[in-house]
Amino acid sequence: MIVSATRTPKKLDDIGRSVSLISKEDIKNSGANSVAEVLSQYEGIYITGTQQTFGANQSMFMRGSNSNQSVVMIDGVPVSDPSTPNAAIDLSELSLSDIDHIEIVRGSHSTQYGSSAIGGVVNIITSGKQKEGMNISASGTAGSFGKETSLMSEKIGLNYTCKDGFYASMNMLNMNVNGINGTIDTTANANVSKNNKSMDRFDYGGKVGFQNNRWDMHVGYKKVNTNANIDKGAFQPDNARTLDFTRDMVSYGATWKYDSTFSVSFNGGYSSMTRKDIDDSSAYSLHQYSKGVYTGKTYTDELQFQFKEKGYSFIFGGSNSEQFMSSQNYSYYYGSISSSNLDSLNLASRTNSMFLLLDLNGELVSEKAKAFSLVLGGRMIKNNTFNTGYTYQVNPMVKVSATTTLYANFSSGYNAPSLYELHAPDKDPTSQITMGNINLRPEISETNEFGVYQKISDKTGVRIGYFSTLTSDVIEFVNLWDKNIAISDLGTNPIRNDFRGDTYMNLGRLLTRGIELDVHGALSKQLLLAGNFSYLKGTQMGSYEAIDTVKSKGNHVQMMNGGGFVDVADVNVKGLARRPIMANISLTYYPAKKIFCKAILKYVSKRNDVFYDYSLGPYGALGTTSVAAYALIDFIGGVKFDEHTSALVRVENVFDVSYSEIIGYAARGRGIYFTINYTF
């Protein structure tokens, strides 16, 4: 059963969308050390940073969308990070502690879940009611993935479930890592120490609830603490920079079922986060020190009414969400001091929305039309900074036979601009143009999707689909240049100041098209084959007609991505950075009932990455360069000693392949991890 695709529990076979469900057993048997490692095994998802040193930033690109255009939720509550410039979550903060299962829904999904759901939705469902009595789960992992590296992780979960439906649980995870040098260093700077990076994480939380045939209620709390050594940037090792991240999250929810036809649900959450970025290079006589403290808060509440009868269901609901952010920065550079503080700006965003979903079945008309179903939906969104917007969804499906299903999806999505993009106060002294742009509009997407699912047996099936998504009003970061000087002459006079500031504008369109294939099957009673393939092709387009001439004050507009001047002509860039063609294939063998061996092949194609190219425009911009393809093989072996105890060994990158996920950053080599699991 999966909930996220239609906001109501449905069997996977009855959903006309590209979806995946990752069970607790799947997660445990994967041997993964992070949520990102688990998600990367599924089609349509590429996460940078997954194979780098632990603690590196992890950005998710789902179906070619940008990293801030997909929704990550915990128990149905969106988890974002408004303290960052684009409000995208860093997946490295998510641990595998207390996860019951994960649901993935691909494609524009804003009608169900609001802002950011252009690429898709990842919903992490935590553990709730369990079998009556005391339930204990504990695991320990030890491993190494290179010279002088180590990983130690301990995880424990306790749950007590009463006979009458009350339950209480608590969980804890501790991880300590001594990792690899995070960058590929091509310099010989003796003042920079190039030692391995470390990361320490401590998560804990709890949940209390009540569940019976009529009520399902819970309140949960989770705290995340991460401290990591990070580098200055690509090809720039830095032993003096640390990043401390803390998140406090409270979630709550209640569902009341009047009878089998009517129910009411209410859920929401509060989250606060603080990120401290300190670079104390003064310890190495470089006379430099910087400190940035970035804070954010989010509030979400949602009320939903569901009415269900034979042949149709009707869901009506509304939500309210608020975001707040601030930052304080201080830097010292060879006697020069600068500082900034955004507290006085009281940066906030408030969004109210209402949504309606209709799930219709052909049996409303005739029993002979039972194979046909249709999901219709719409959402109205009102934000305190931009105009009212609307999204829609049309999702027909037909079961051609008991084993063959055809489906289509026509839907729209939207992604609101971040608080930083709207209000960044940095101002150019000459033009007086601020970096933030209060007139930004939300990014809007249109998705067309077609697919077929062929079920061969209970354990064997094939799903293949095609999608096309066009996102308009894409927010771009641009440089502005003196309108009175010809573009060819900009930057040629070292005495003259041609620069007129930088800002954000709705300039672009992003077109992505792709094919996704998922295959799973039992070759025999002891041999299972599973695999997926994701083909993606995309184009980024900057529109001359979209320029906000009031904001630019008529100055030349240069896109940071690619360096093209949009005020001269449209700028089209084929090929998307950090969006490869991917394939995952696994073969699992069960020599005995309680033993399994699994080999996994992961292929990532040649792809573009970005770097600062000083040859673009007057002072440079982000150019692209090619990053080589790579193929990795992992091995996993597991044994269950008894009903309580099991062990797992995972060999990552068996052949110690040298490769890069992102240009300038190092990837892990061969790694070996041992895990002991205990449940009671």
Report in angstroms the alpha-carbon separations of 609 from 16, 50, 198, 236, 661: 34, 16, 26, 17, 9
pLDDT digits (tens, 9 = 90+) for 74-92: 999 999 999 899 999 999 9
CB 567 within 8 A of CB 547: yes
Which residue shows structure tokens 């524009």? 108
| pLDDT computed for residue 185 by the predictor | 62
Residue 191 predicted with pLDDT over 70: no
The per-residue pLDDT for 182 is: 83
Q: How far apart are CA 163 and CA 52, in angstroms?
A: 46
Q: Please give the average per-residue pLDDT across 252-258, as a whole number.
A: 95
Q: How many CB atoms lie within 10 A of CB 457?
A: 9
State the pLDDT at residue 283. Answer: 57
Query: How confident is residue 188, by pLDDT bands cut at 50, 70 and 90?
Result: very low
Percent of the chain with pLDDT over 70: 98
Residue in 23, 6, 214, 208 with CA at minimum distance from that of residue 102: 23
Query: Average pLDDT for residues 102-106, to the nearest whole number?
Result: 95
Determine what percent of the chain falls in helix, strand and coil, rounding each to the nearest 5: 5, 60, 35
Is the per-residue pLDDT at 102 higher than 70? yes
Using alpha carbons, select from 177, 185, 92 the residue that is nearest to residue 666. 185
Adjacency order of strands within the sheet including 77-78: 19-23, 99-106, 120-126, 70-74, 77-78
pLDDT digits 0-9 by tens, 476-530: 999 999 999 999 999 899 899 999 999 999 998 999 999 999 999 999 989 999 9
* Partners of residue 638 on adjacent β-strands: 596, 648
SS3 91: helix
- The CB-side HSE value for 429 (13 A sphere, CA atoms) comes to 1
Quote the pLDDT of residue 193.
Answer: 45
Distance between CA atoms of residues 540 and 538, nearest Å: 7
Report yes or no: 588 and 637 within 8 Å, Cβ to Cβ: no
State the residue for tokens 């304080």: 328
pLDDT digits (tens, 9 = 90+) for 230-246: 888 888 877 788 999 99
Threshold 0.85, pTM exceeds: yes
What's the Cα-to-Cα distance from 98 to each of 28, 29, 33, 204, rounded to whole Å?
Answer: 11, 15, 13, 9
Residue-wise pLDDT tens digits, 334-371:
878 888 888 888 899 999 999 999 999 999 988 889 99
Q: Are strands 527-542 and 582-592 parallel, antiparallel or unpaired?
A: antiparallel
Closest of 514, 562, 517, 516 to residue 537, by C-alpha: 514
Listed in order, strand segments (DSSP E) in 90-165 are 99-106, 120-126, 133-144, 150-161
**At 541, is the pLDDT very low, low, confident or very high (cuts 50, 70, 90)?**
confident
* Spatial separation of the C-alpha atoms in residues 673 and 649, rounded to whole Å: 6
pLDDT of residue 344: 86
Give the rounded percent of residues in the chain with a pLDDT score beyond 90.
75
pLDDT digits (tens, 9 = 90+) for 47-66: 999 999 998 999 999 999 99
Average per-residue pLDDT for the chain:
92
Q: pLDDT of 542-571, one tens digit each? A: 888 899 999 999 999 999 988 999 987 888
Predicted local confidence at residue 241, as pLDDT: 87
- Going by the DSSP 8-state scheme, the letter that residue 194 receives in this structure is -
Cα 613 from Cα 669, distance rounded (Å): 29
Q: Report the pLDDT value the prediction gives residue 604, as an integer from 0 to 100.
A: 97
- The pLDDT score that the predictor gives to residue 602 is 97
| pLDDT, mean of residues 283-290 | 70
Q: What is the pLDDT of residues 564-613, one digit of tens each?
A: 999 878 888 778 889 999 999 999 999 998 999 999 999 999 999 998 99
pLDDT at 7: 87
- The pLDDT-based confidence of 186 (bands split at 50, 70, 90) is low
pLDDT value, residue 598: 97
List Cβ neighbours of 462 (8 Å cut-off, separation of 6 or more).
453, 454, 456, 517, 518, 519
